[in-house]
Amino acid sequence: MPGRSRHPGAEEFLPESRTLSALRDAAASCQGCDLYADATQTVFGAGPARARLVLVGEQPGEVEDTEGAPFVGPAGRVLERARADAGLTDIPTYVTNAVKHFHFRRQGKRRIHQTPRAGHVSACRPWLDAELETLHPDLVVCLGSVATKAVLGNDVRVLRDRGTALERDSTVGTGTFVVTVHPSSILRAGADRDAAYAAFVADLKVAAALVS
Ligand code: URA
Ligand code: SF4
């Protein structure tokens, strides 16, 4: 695989201590793939160590890259509203991403989101695995296909398997998972936006029933 030797993956950057704060501190200087070079900063997961629910997104966007926290931009606003509408607001929740650096291309002054490549996802997976190992939540919700593939591999399909409890082996052991669409897909749904949003909330209600 070209570039493998230049980009060894996150493994060698993992700290000995696996507390969330030790992981976060170590991830700040990760150079496990090429994405660290152009992004502003590592955007690590956020939420309490007692979280019982983990939400996994794709990668930080423009706003997250600037602010250093996950889901604080437009997709985050959709997610926040949907969590409230699904009754998840009071469930201690940790929010993170499959890839911790923003992948983009420049177009003039703008930075345009690029889907992370499989190599980025696998390079970054030690961070996600470590977060899940440390938290061992009751439920993991994958938001969109990048997160779904990162956590559950190729056997689970978002549109086929969304909104139902899946018992699966993952890289961090057997657990319960729910997959659903990425909240940014609702922003792109045009005239179907209301239906797309309602379906997203319905999936999150399945998650709420599993952790309540
Ligand atoms: N999209 C994601 O997948 N994650 C974020 O943190 C923001 C937007
Ligand atoms: Fe490390 Fe992940 Fe950032 Fe790549 S995207 S440099 S593996 S934290």
State both tokens at 158. 């978002």
Q: Which of ligand 1's atoms lies nearest the C-alpha of 70?
A: 6
- The reply to whether 2 falls in a domain is no
Lowest mean pLDDT segment, chosen from 25-34, 161-170, 193-202: 161-170
Site to probe by mutation for ligand 1, drawn from 58, 95, 128, 151 as the one with most ligand atoms within 8 Å of Cβ, is 58
At 205, give phi and psi (nearest 5°).
-65, -35
User: Which pLDDT value is given to residue 87?
Assistant: 98
Rounded CA-CA distance 212/208 in Å is 6
Rounded CA-CA distance 162/7 in Å is 33
The pLDDT > 70 percentage for the chain reads: 97
Rounded CA-CA distance 78/24 in Å is 25
Q: Which of ligand 1's atoms lies nearest the C-alpha of 43?
A: 6
- The reply to whether 68 falls in a domain is yes
- Tens-place pLDDT, residues 26-47: 999 999 999 999 999 999 999 9
E-strand stretches of 23-172: 53-57, 93-97, 104-107, 110-113, 139-143, 166-170
DSSP annotation of 46: B
Residues 6+ positions from 17 with CB-CB distance below 8 Å: none
C-alpha dihedral sign at 33, 46, 144, 209 = positive
- The reply to whether 75 falls in a domain is yes
Give nearest CA residue, ligand 2 atom 3.
Answer: 101
At 114, give phi and psi (nearest 5°).
-125, 135
pLDDT at 4 over 50: no
- The reply to whether 3 falls in a domain is no
- The reply to whether 5 falls in a domain is no
- Tens-place pLDDT, residues 69-94: 999 999 999 999 999 999 999 999 99
Say if ligand 1 is within 6 A of residue 129 CB: no
Mean pLDDT of the chain: 95
Say if ligand 2 is within 6 A of residue 35 CB: yes
Note down the domain range covering 66.
10-211
Say if ligand 2 is within 6 A of residue 44 CB: no
Q: Domain of 161: which CATH number?
A: 3.40.470.10
Say if ligand 2 is within 6 A of residue 97 CB: no
- The reply to whether 1 falls in a domain is no
Mean pLDDT of 160-173: 90
- The reply to whether 4 falls in a domain is no
Rounded CA-CA distance 143/5 in Å is 31
- The reply to whether 135 falls in a domain is yes
Please choose, from the candidates 64, 50, 11, 65, the residue with its C-alpha nearest in 3D space to the C-alpha of residue 33: 11
Total tally of structural domains belonging to the chain: 1
Q: Which of ligand 1's atoms lies nearest the C-alpha of 57?
A: 3
84 Cα: distance to centroid of ligand 2 (angstroms): 31
State both tokens at 147. 């997160």
35 Cα: distance to centroid of ligand 1 (angstroms): 15
